[in-house]
Amino acid sequence: MKTRRRFLKQSAAAAAAPALFHIVPARALGLQGPAPSDTINFGHIGIGGRGRGFLRLEANAGKPVHAPSNLGGDGTRLLRAGRSVALCDVDTRRLDEAATRVGGHPKLYKDFRRLLEDKDVDAVYIASPDHWHALQTIMSCEAGKDVYCEKPACNTIEEGRAMVQAAERYGRVVQIGSQGRSQPSAWQANNYIKAGRIGTVRKVLCWHYASPEGDWTPDAAPPPELDYDMWVGPARWLPYNVKHTHGAFRWLIDFGGGQIRDRGAHVMSIANWIMDADATGPVSVEAKGEPPHDGMYDSAVSMEVTYQFKNPDWTLVWAQPGVPSTELNAAYGAVYWGDTGNVTVTLGDGAGTSTEQRAKDFSQQCDCGKAFKSPGHSENWEDCIRTRQKPIMHMEAAHRVASLCILGNISFQLQRKLEWDAVHEEVKNDDEANRLLSRPGRGLWNL
């Protein structure tokens, strides 16, 4: 990997020049995607949990089919022509299970770098743990692959900006998996608000249940099927523990970042979309709450983060647990408060999104809010692979949402208010906070 300074310098210089390094099939040379009639060949990096949902079964390869979906839309999805030709995971058990499920003869890799060298792969789904998202997305762009990467986009502000620059420099279509934007109820609420039905929105109040603390479990030797050193990758080394890895990594700052970075990347993604904040950020961030006292995890159990935006002026609050909406029964979501009313949007992830009936009824009669209506999150990405347009959760938008989550955690960690410069992406007059905007990496794995 390039050093950060070299990468950023070359990225800036490349803004006016065409990308020169694309390892792609002939039909996708330059900045072009596959022709509309072509089948997209997908590679998959990380195939446990969310990653399994992205696999294209051999029986359905190359033809549109209806299938259950947790990727957005109305509960079913019309798959574009595509097939899974290469699979990668550091857990051989998961790799073998996925190969059996896909059928046919997909190529299998334990090292994602070998998959990125595969010239048969047009685009990649990245569903590895959070701490790998940035490097794998950047390296995929460098290799000429379009990218669908699960949320959150990144673990640090520095990583997010490097991801934006990589997507732009190499002309890649990058979609981050905050699926709520592509679900009908989010569009209905956005349309309702943008049509002025609740006046000017001044405050968005999010709620979510607390993060777990985790009962103490002793460290152990990693199972033989798991390449644990590769799993840790760029993060700070910790001994293997079953409650640090598959599924449970989210509650450690080095690997995940707690509920605010997990579900906050869904709920606040919809908020930024509705509030037209995809290219900006708050002027201040203030987190309050008690740090964890016991247990295995270091992310906040309970916290409240207040973000102040200017021009236009509005307030975003992430409250964990917060006060649930009285209008809709859901584990998490947000209430949008305007001058003349309010509306609720719940959830925001693969479990589905909902909004109040008045917003649904209004949107059946009028789309005067002029909000983009996505066909589904993965479908939108695949359409953009062909058209080379930006998807609904493009990399800049995803970086700005991830920045909210990261800054909330930093304010909580330091127990003080941060004055944020969203243009230069730095905390004003706070060297300690600015040191937390990046991380050193580990071994080969660094920016």
What is the identity of the amino acid at 40?
I
Q: Which residues contact 11 (CB under 8 A, 6 or more apart)?
A: 162, 165, 166, 168, 169
- Residues in Cβ contact with 94 at an 8 Å cutoff, skipping those fewer than 6 apart: 47, 48
The answer to whether position 274 is within a domain reads yes
CA–CA distance, 271 with 268 (Å, rounded to integer): 5
Residues 248 and 144 in one domain: no
Tokens representing residue 77 in the block = 């999805």
Q: If you compute the radius of gyration of the chain from its CA atoms, what whole number of angstroms results?
A: 21
Are residues 198 and 155 part of one domain? no
Query: What DSSP letter does each residue of 71-123 carry, written as one string?
Result: SSSSSEEEPPSEEEEEEE-SBHHHHHHHHHHH-S--EEESSHHHHHT-TT--E
Domain harbouring 152, CATH code: 3.40.50.720
For residue 105, what are its two tokens? 């003869």
Instruction: Please check whether residues 153 and 188 belong to one and the same domain.
Output: no
User: What is the pLDDT at residue 61?
Assistant: 56
Quote the pLDDT of residue 37.
52
In 3D, which of 137, 209, 204 has the Cα closest to residue 398? 137
Q: Are residues 136 and 229 in the same domain?
A: no
- Beta strand 418-421 with 333-338 is unpaired
pLDDT recorded at residue 63: 54
Whether 111 and 167 map to the same domain: the answer is: yes
Residue 321: is the preceding peptide bond cis (ω within 30°)? yes
Regarding whether 306 and 187 lie in a shared domain, the answer is yes
> Is residue 188 in a domain?
yes
Output the pLDDT for position 32: 54
Note the pLDDT of residue 8: 44
Question: Is residue 446 included in any domain, yes or no?
Answer: no
Could you tell me if residue 441 is inside a domain? no
Are residues 87 and 161 part of one domain?
Answer: yes
CA distances (Å), origin 431, targets 225, 425, 437: 42, 13, 10
Q: What share of the chain is helix, strand, coil (3-state, %, to 5)?
A: 35, 20, 45
Residue at 73 is within a domain: yes
Residues 194 and 61 in one domain: no
Cα end-to-end distance, the chain, whole Å: 6
Contacts 24+ apart (CB under 8 A), 301-307: 301/210, 301/211, 301/212, 301/213, 302/210, 302/211, 303/260, 303/408, 303/412, 305/260, 305/408, 305/411, 305/412, 307/282, 307/404, 307/407, 307/408
Relative to beta strand 418-421, strand 426-427 is antiparallel
Question: Read out DSSP for 117-161?
Answer: T-TT--EEEE-S-GGGHHHHHHHHHHTT-EEEEPSS--SSHHHHH
Question: 10 Å Cβ neighbour count for 227?
Answer: 15
Under DSSP, the state recorded for 252 is: S
Residue 271 · residue 206 · CB < 8 Å: yes
pLDDT digits 0-9 by tens, 330-343: 999 999 999 999 99
What is the residue-level pLDDT of the chain in tens, covering all 447 positions? 444 444 444 443 333 333 322 333 333 434 455 554 578 999 999 999 889 999 998 766 555 544 444 444 444 445 567 899 999 999 999 999 999 999 989 999 999 999 999 999 999 999 999 999 999 999 999 999 999 999 999 999 999 999 999 999 999 999 999 999 999 999 999 999 999 999 999 999 999 999 888 888 999 999 999 999 999 999 999 999 999 999 899 999 999 999 999 999 999 999 999 999 999 999 999 999 888 888 889 999 999 999 999 999 999 999 999 999 888 989 999 999 999 999 999 987 767 899 999 999 999 998 888 899 999 999 999 999 999 999 999 999 999 999 999 999 999 999 999 999 999 999 999 999 999 999 999 999 999
Segments forming the whole domain that contains residue 55: 4-181+382-394
**Per the domain annotation, does 445 fall within a domain?**
no
257 phi and psi angles, rounded to 5 deg: 145, 15
The structural domain count of the chain equals 2
Q: Is residue 443 part of a domain?
A: no
Q: Are 332 and 346 in contact (CB under 8 A)?
A: yes
As a whole number of angstroms, the distance between CA 3 and CA 29 comes to: 27
Asked whether 322 and 205 are in contact (CB, 8 A), the reply is yes
The type of residue at 241 is N
Tell me: do 64 and 188 sit in the same domain: no
N residues, the chain: 447
- Domain of 224, CATH number, reads 3.30.360.10
In a domain, 440, yes or no: no
Q: At what angle do helices 395-414 and 264-274 cross, to 10 degrees?
A: 120
Same domain, 419 and 346: yes
Does 114 lie in the same domain as 186?
A: no
Q: Are residues 81 and 157 in the same domain?
A: yes
